Amino acid sequence: MWYNCTCCWYFNISEAGTADVYYGDDEKSLMAGVGQYSGSNVFGCGGTILLGAHDTTYFAGLENVQIGDVFEVQTNYGHYTYRVNSTKVV
């Protein structure tokens, strides 16, 4: 499901900048911002959250992210802080 230019979540990593996060991993979502892969866990509910974006746009700064860096997500139901514990380029 794509939310027609309405940001579902706000994503901030100081090294990577900020981006809107949309639920969905289709091309339309990824053209608008960061997409949360269908079937991955929701922010604030525990488990693995899978995010995707084009590496030349919304994720361009992620090449500088280090283990231990902190990122924040603002949703309409809460504010969450996460710490990077691993990275993988696929």
pLDDT in tens, 3-49: 333 344 555 655 566 778 888 888 888 888 888 888 888 888 888 88
C-alpha separations of 28 from 7, 22, 32, 81 in Å: 13, 10, 6, 27
Q: Which amino acid is at 78?
A: G
pTM above 0.75, yes or no: no
pLDDT in tens, 52-86: 888 777 777 777 778 888 888 888 888 888 888 88
pLDDT in tens, 19-29: 788 888 888 88
- Containing 71, the helix (H) or strand (E) segment is strand 70-75
